[in-house]
A and B are shown apart, each in its own frame.
Chain A
Amino acid sequence: MKAAAALLTGALALSLTACGGDDDKSGGDKSTGPKESGSALTLPELNGTTLEVAAVWTGPEQANFKKVLAEFEKRTGAKVTFVPAQDPIINFLGSKIAGGQPPDVAMLPQPGAIKQAVDKKWAKPLGAEALKELRKNYSQGWQDIGKVGGEQYGVYYKAANKSLVWYNATVFENAGASEPGTWDELLSTAQTVYDSGVTPFSIPGADGWPLTDWFENVYLSQAGPEKYDQLAKHEIKWTDPTVKEALTTLAEIWGKKDYVAGGADGALQTQFPNSVTQTFTGGDQPKAAMVYEGDFVQVNIAQTDAKIGTDAKVFPFPKVGDTAPVVSGGDAAVVLKDSEGAQALATFLASPDAAEIQAKLGGYLSPNKNVDVSVYPNDVQRTIAKALIAAGDDFRFDMSDQAPQAFGGTPGKGEWKDLQDFLKNPSDVAGIQKKLESDAAAAYGN
């Protein structure tokens, strides 16, 4: 039944885009031509169609995404409205759907959310045109995390490389420190920086999610991808010895009051944007030398005077075990109202054309392998993008994003809260493990 429906919608989309394509040529003359060069993407004529796109993005991220939507409007004639949603977006969508007004397309930041949307029969499978575009541009790994039960629902429009440590180049130079490649080297770099008179790390403990990302990198590298996948599905317990080892390793940094800007109490009141800006302001004497987080840190660095690539540099998260971790995140476009317009927008978002617009504006990474890396605004971003594409299918998706919302995505609850408690009291590894396990058990329902 489902397959038949998918086939039908697919055929429908095909025939519609086929006739839409002709219109596009005639209409294309009116709109600006130069953008269309080199792209084989054909989008249907959608004059008079209105679409709604829901996403949790704010600030520059939202502004940049709106430019992508504007390009879609220009090419198709459709009118696209951006609906600002709040975290957790799945509950936001729930109330929208209960009210009979679902947005046409939603950008879901977690694979868990896509699964929930499918289970609740909100999400609609991708049409043939969007699938074609997706298969052409995405590696198998990125396609697979958008699938539920073998059916393709999500287009990963935006990716995040969450295995990066950003550092203040001046501080490293003053301290004579070098970029570490292993955890032990990271510790000795931290000591050198500390000896030079600067606190090594800035940790945004007021937000829970950067803490989960710290843990995930250590765990992925130390315990390996297999255990990582098992823990993500809660097939092994949080009281597992591997978790103990990872937390103990983490405590080698979190547990040293002098290694964390403001100490544990100060860190617990530092929010993510502030943790970045305090690392890159203050000349020779910033509040901290290093801040760990994904590529999106650049957006916040841009708010300081530091220049990315010269004042603010980056190194990959050091390997704790045998291989360096690559933890990624991303937002997938999911169609909620199966219409020609929504499918066309999904197709557009799967194309390099859309990705390149936002890539140019910075603070954005695309998992699309056909995006020309030269469009990224600086070398740092280009390197990160290349690394992400080069990782192929060897990356692991953010664990807390795979977990149920109540455990991995709620402020002041579950993993977020437990790791905040751990940051406050890093000696109590066993106690935190027990707390994590009981919270996880409640959220996963097993």
Chain B
Amino acid sequence: MQSATGAAKAPRHRSVTGTRKTVAALFLLPALVLLGALVVYPIGYSVVRSFYDQSGDGFAGVDNYQALFTDDGIRTALKNNVIWVVFAPTVATALGLIFAVLTERVRWGTAFKLVVFMPMAISMLAAGIIFRLVYDQDPDKGVANAVWVGVHDTFAESSAFPKAHPGRKSPLVAENGGFVTGATVRAGDPVALPLVGVAPDQLPDGAKRAVAARAEPGKVTGTTWQDFTRGKGVGTLGAPDPDELGYAGMRIEAVEDGKVVASTKASADGTFTLPASADGARLRLPASNFTEPYNGLDWLGPSLVTPAIIGSYIWMWAGFAMVLIAAGLAGMPRELLEAARVDGANEWQVFRRVTVPLLAPVLAVVAVTLMINVLKVFDLVFIIAPGSSQDDANVLALELYRKGFAEDQPGVASAIAVFLLLLVIPVMWFNVRRLRREVRR
């Protein structure tokens, strides 16, 4: 009897397990100390530091926060962060959803998932280095440009003489990307059209030694050739030297009052013949002879660098989204899908009206997690963007690093850190609330 009342009284002072508050506090202490020292104190100190000036001695008020919104670098960073937060999580989640739904239906789904998830096993740093190479400007190195140039060149071929240009005392002058003779030509009076700037091993395969054209009555003849001998320089200006090669296949047009009256192509030794109608016209080497080889896109240039880096981020994180969504999908009641199908819904309708709404909570969690992740993105931008476009690719976390460690502005850097924290809080709050609701359910 005595013991029973004792037990009944106990809950007022003791918890169910019978531990005292002091014991509970004792057990909590290590965790609290660690959390305090490693999380709470740094946050608090950053907040305090953000109100002090560069040296940390003088109180600066809100100057650092003012810098946050007036500094050009930080403004670009802010703008880029918005782009990141809007696009990276949505695209990664959307791709993850598509992969998850589709892999459910193929036999080798697991293998496919494994491959898509693989990039997650690579560190951000390594991924950054990989993509730095992928986006390399040189099509021989960067796979992105290799593909792009390959596609482009199937539709538009590059020319044989991209860098050719008139040498000294040339009779040719530049016009609309091509070259035209300064004077008109006469039949029976051979013309010389010398250019320079094409190395012998870059000339078309059939090119032979250039010869001076012979005069033919009633016809305009001439030679077009590389007026530069390897190892010897120009030699005789305006006349073919023994080792100089003809511009085989160079297109030549005779132009009179802006109209093409005759045209031809140079033979292997650079000589060409135009009919009598070309008499009195000017000769033009049209721009099509000189189009530069297509060099691909400037992936890491100022305008494309942020989308390019977001692309690499998606490559890494789409797998993560896919795995989470696939897990959600596995837990979905099949009978609902079956019911929809029996009711005559097609696959798109099932996906749109049943699968996606049922998956909405999972999709939200994935998107929000990625959003938090994206807000602090640093390594990919730091590594992929070359120095010349780092400014254009800037994000808040990178600017924080640059201000704090490269420019020695710890005050401003702390202000950025606090600002980032403020940005993350609503998203965190949303996540915590979700979690609570889930638990209650």
Contacts and interface: CB of A to CB of B under 8 A. Distances in A.
B405 interface: yes
Interface string B187-223: 0000000001111111000000000000000000000
Contacts of A176: 231-233
Nearest to A175: B233
A416 B197 contact: no
A227 to B, nearest CB: 28
Contacts of B298: 265, 269
B228 A413 contact: no
B137 A196 contact: no
Contacts of A195: 165, 167, 196-197, 228, 234
Contact of A405 (B136, B199, B386, B407): B407
A196 B198 CA distance: 6
Contact of A265 (B165, B196, B199, B301): B301
Interface-centre pick from B199, B295, B300, B402 (highest chain A CB count, 10 A): B199
A256 to B, nearest CB: 11
B407 A413 contact: yes
Contacts of A196: 196-197, 199, 228, 230
Contacts of A417: 388, 391
B408 interface: yes
A182 interface: no
A405 B408 contact: yes
B390 interface: yes
A94 B391 contact: no
Interface-centre pick from B165, B196, B231, B388 (highest chain A CB count, 10 A): B388
A127 B5 CA distance: 83
Nearest to A176: B233
Interface string A241-271: 0000000000000000010001001101101
Given A91-B405, A406-B408, A268 B301 contact: yes
A197 interface: yes
A43 B201 CA distance: 61
B387 interface: yes
Interface-centre pick from B226, B394, B406 (highest chain A CB count, 10 A): B406
B163 interface: yes
B389 interface: yes
Interface string B20-50: 0000000000000000000000000000000
A173 to B, nearest CB: 6
Contacts of B406: 87-88, 91, 405, 410-411, 413
A441 B304 CA distance: 32
Contacts of B226: 197
A175 B228 CA distance: 8
A199 B197 CA distance: 9
Nearest to B387: A411
A57 interface: no
Nearest to A193: B197
Interface in A64-101: 87-88, 90-92, 94-95
Interface string B366-389: 000000000000000000001111
Given A285-B199, A405-B408, A410-B406, A268 B389 contact: yes
A173 B229 CA distance: 11
B94 to A, nearest CB: 31
Contact of B386 (A92, A194, A271, A410): A271
Given A91-B408, A268-B389, A406-B408, A285 B197 contact: no
A420 B388 contact: yes
A412 B390 contact: yes
Interface residues of A, number: 40
B230 A174 contact: yes
A437 B232 CA distance: 47
A440 interface: no
Interface string A153-177: 0000000000000000000011110
Nearest to B233: A176
A208 B388 CA distance: 7
A269 B137 contact: yes
Given A197-B199, A412-B390, A258 B231 contact: no
Interface-centre pick from B165, B202, B233 (highest chain A CB count, 10 A): B233
A198 B391 contact: no
A300 interface: no
A333 interface: no
A90 B406 CA distance: 9
A109 interface: no
Interface string B129-172: 00000001100000000000000000000000001010100000
Contacts of A262: 137, 295
Contact of A416 (B163, B201, B232, B387): B387
A205 interface: yes
A207 interface: yes
Nearest to B232: A176
Contacts of A370: none
Contacts of B402: 410, 412-413
Interface string B382-421: 0000111111001000000010011110000000000000
A410 B407 contact: yes
Nearest to B404: A91
A205 B386 CA distance: 9
A197 B200 CA distance: 8
Contact of A192 (B165, B202, B233, B394): B233
A269 B386 contact: yes
Interface-centre pick from A192, A196, A207, A417 (highest chain B CB count, 10 A): A196
A439 B232 CA distance: 48
B49 to A, nearest CB: 12
A208 B163 CA distance: 28
A405 B137 CA distance: 30
A284 interface: yes
A268 B201 contact: no
A208 B231 CA distance: 35
Contacts of B163: 194, 197, 199, 258
Nearest to B166: A195
B301 A411 contact: no
A266 B295 contact: yes
Contacts of B136: 269
Nearest to B235: A176
A276 B196 CA distance: 26
Contacts of B408: 88, 90-91, 94, 405-406
A262 B233 CA distance: 24
Contacts of B230: 174-175, 196
B387 to A, nearest CB: 4
B388 A269 contact: yes
Nearest to A86: B405
Interface string A212-255: 00000000000000000000000000000000000000000000
A175 B199 CA distance: 10
A117 B200 CA distance: 57
Given A174-B199, A405-B406, 19 more contacts: A94-B408, A176-B232, A194-B197, A197-B197, A197-B199, A197-B200, A206-B387, A258-B165, A266-B137, A268-B386, A269-B388, A284-B201, A285-B199, A285-B201, A405-B408, A412-B390, A412-B402, A413-B407, A420-B387
28 contacts: A88-B408, A90-B408, A91-B405, A92-B405, A94-B408, A174-B199, A176-B232, A194-B165, A194-B197, A196-B199, A197-B163, A197-B198, A197-B226, A206-B386, A206-B388, A258-B163, A268-B388, A269-B301, A284-B199, A284-B201, A285-B202, A405-B408, A406-B407, A411-B387, A411-B406, A412-B394, A412-B402, A413-B407
Which 5 pairs of residues, A with B, have the shortest CB-CB distance?
A197-B199, A176-B233, A195-B196, A206-B386, A412-B390
Interface of B: 73, 136-137, 163, 165, 167, 196-202, 226, 228, 230-234, 295, 298, 300-301, 386-391, 394, 402, 405-408
